[in-house]
A and B are shown apart, each in its own frame.
Chain A
Amino acid sequence: MKAKKISSIFLIFILAVLFASPGQAEDLTGEEIMTRVDENQFIAAARLEAEMRIIDRDRESVKEMIMYVESDGEVSNGLVEFINPRDRGTKYLLLDDRLWMHFPDAEDLVPISGHMLREGLMGSDFSYQDALESEQLTRLYQFEKLGRTEINERQVYEIEGVARPDQEPAYHNRKFWVDVERFVVLREEMYARDGRLLKVMETEKVEEVQEGRWMATAMIMEDQLREDSRTIYRILEIDLDYEIPPGKISLETLQ
């Protein structure tokens, strides 16, 4: 059974968990490379502690969060609990490709409307839609390998993704620079249909979180339409063997 890329908001940040197998990688097509990225991002269950630094000119806001993610290989779900003082108690639930918010003052679940998905997550450069589509890249895009180049002294494949004719994703085109050994996405660019560059994501740090398994643990997202704005996402702690309590990621628990 094909392992599906981890859904979510939560895992747009996690992008790329890899098994290095450089010997056969040279002959891979663009589709095969992105499928490898997909497959290697699979996580059955994990608990993460992370922070998001939203920077605009000389101002900065820090969001701290605990995330739970689980996937059975077909469906991926997740829960984010914010723990910084301003947002403490606010939760996002991703369940079956739907997003819900939970506010501590109401203790009720509110579905996030479709038109709100373009909005930045907690004011960051990451949108809700970035999150939702991060798990569906191979369904939404056709990939082509453009060649090889080098980023930060790492050899990378340059991959272009174009929206499939029957799909309307948030970005018409995307470019990926994928580490040829670790299959970690080191850079990503998102474009509008008219070719305008909308967002750029760069991986700041890659760590071996398990033996032979690499993960991007720090990323910078820049919304090119917001002048002097960027969001730095860092995973502070990750437990890939975490046993998520039954019902933790569910509508029932948040009501």
Chain B
Amino acid sequence: MRLGLPGKGLFLLLMMVLMLGGSMAHAGAVEVGGRIDLQAGMLYDQDFFGNYQGSGELELYLPRGENFASRLVLRGHLNEGGPELGVKYMYLRYRHQYGHITLGRQPISWSYGSLIHPLDYKPGVEGLAGETIQPEVDGVRILQNMGNGASLHFAVSFPEGLTRQPLHRMGLGGRLRVMLPDHDFSLNVIDQPLQLFPLPGEDNLFRAGLTYRGDAGPAGFYGAISYFRLRHRGDEDVVAQVGADFSWQVGPEYQESLVYFQAEYLRFLLGELGLNHLMQAGAGPGLMGGIPAEFHDLLLVNLNLEIDPFSQVGTALIFETTDYQLALAPYFESDLGGGVELRLEGSLLWDREGVFSGGSNLGLTFYF
């Protein structure tokens, strides 16, 4: 069994958290919650393959102090290499009158409602085919509220380890967010180190740009414009994203079930950089089903139908025009009661030559 703690610093932080939790235990009991996921599936890629995996999360809900809060979420995986334990989140947060300072492994989301966010601090996916992947970050986050819905965010991260990291291998970012009724603006600037992939070597991806989200009648609209640059290689690009979401109720014969539709298009306008650079700066190249191609554009469509209060069915469509690959990801989710959820999902992928690969998966999740 491997223990996935990345270093001494994290271990010391764990001790601090537990000590703080212990000192505050007088104020209230520590509660425990979490989830267990078990999945089995089959993959077709010129031949059939079976797979099975299990994972779980355990969160300790530690009592909060007047100005301090902490969060500790442990996780485990069962996969081919055997069991693996690790820390998902572990941080301390100091709150003051104008914001907070958070130190440790934490989520940093600068979401503005898109499925893939080109200006997120660490890009992942949000709500695509019902799945959300938010990469955790080891580092420091500072939030400074400015009043009237405006706030400043700063982040410093250590993506390649916690000790003896040269400055150029650390991540840096800032965000100015202004939230007004029906309007949400952000100005983001991020510099993240990344391993060039599939090319060998290292570089830093600098990103800067604006995002906007607003309502227009019955629909929501959003968009982003950003400048990307590999600082050492000098490759640069302008990335644009537009999207919309809409929901409506289908007819009485379907019990007025709610349909939710979201579509967005993202394009690297100069064609010098690609989606792989963006994913490498965030959730990693495996995010899009392990496809390492240098996509220069991406169309994402999300369609979801709420069958009843406990079940929903939907699909995601992913299409790009570099290699003309098309992927479909249908899924079905149902709350079985007793804290157990069922998820059936599939993936179907066609490339330019019409070669097909795909798979299906059955998963059960127990919440406690």
Contact = CB atoms under 8 A, between A and B. Distances in A.
Given A59-B310, A123-B310, A106 B255 contact: no
A115 B247 contact: yes
A254 to B, nearest CB: 11
A90 B335 CA distance: 17
Contact of B33 (A54, A85, A108, A123): A85
Nearest to B97: A247
A130 to B, nearest CB: 15
Nearest to A247: B97
A61 B310 contact: yes
A114 B220 contact: yes
B220 A251 contact: no
Q: Which 9 interchain pairs have the tightest Cβ spacing?
A: A106-B109, A113-B220, A225-B256, A108-B109, A123-B309, A85-B367, A252-B145, A114-B215, A86-B367
Contacts of B159: none
B309 A54 contact: yes
A110 B337 contact: no
B337 A108 contact: no
B219 A115 contact: yes
Given A96-B181, A108-B111, A114 B145 contact: no
Given A105-B107, A108-B109, A108-B111, A227 B255 contact: yes
A20 to B, nearest CB: 37
Interface string B91-125: 00001001100000011111101000000000000
Nearest to B66: A245
A255 B147 CA distance: 13
A116 interface: yes
Interface string B245-261: 11111001001101000
A105 B107 CA distance: 7
Contacts of B98: 252
Interface of B: 33, 35, 95, 98-99, 106-111, 113, 126, 132, 134, 143, 145, 149, 151, 179, 181-182, 184, 213, 215, 217-220, 245-249, 252, 255-256, 258, 306, 308-310, 335, 337, 339, 341, 367-368
Given A116-B247, A119-B247, A124 B179 contact: no
B215 A113 contact: yes
Interface string A90-126: 0000001010000001111111011110111001100
A118 B247 CA distance: 9
B255 A226 contact: yes
Given A85-B33, A110-B113, A252-B151, A105 B143 contact: no
Contact of A255 (B107, B134, B151, B255): B151
A56 interface: yes
A120 B126 CA distance: 21
Name, among B143, B218, B309, the residue most crowded by chain A CB atoms within 10 Å (CB to CB): B309
A105 B220 contact: no
Contacts, number: 104
B337 A61 contact: yes
Contacts of B310: 54, 56, 59, 61, 123
B335 A226 contact: no
24 contacts: A54-B310, A56-B308, A61-B309, A61-B310, A85-B368, A86-B339, A96-B181, A105-B132, A106-B126, A107-B109, A108-B107, A109-B179, A111-B184, A115-B246, A115-B248, A120-B258, A123-B309, A225-B255, A225-B256, A226-B308, A251-B145, A251-B149, A251-B179, A252-B151
B111 A106 contact: yes
A219 B258 CA distance: 24
Interface in A225-240: 225-227, 229
Nearest to A122: B309
A201 B274 CA distance: 53
A230 B335 CA distance: 16
A150 interface: no
A123 B258 CA distance: 11
Contacts of A86: 335, 339, 341, 367
B217 to A, nearest CB: 8
Contacts of A225: 249, 252, 255-256
Contacts of B248: 115
Given A114-B220, A115-B218, A226-B256, A88 B111 contact: no
Nearest to B102: A107
Interface in A136-150: none
Nearest to A255: B143
Contacts of B106: 107
A123 B246 CA distance: 18
B244 to A, nearest CB: 10
Contacts of B306: 119, 123
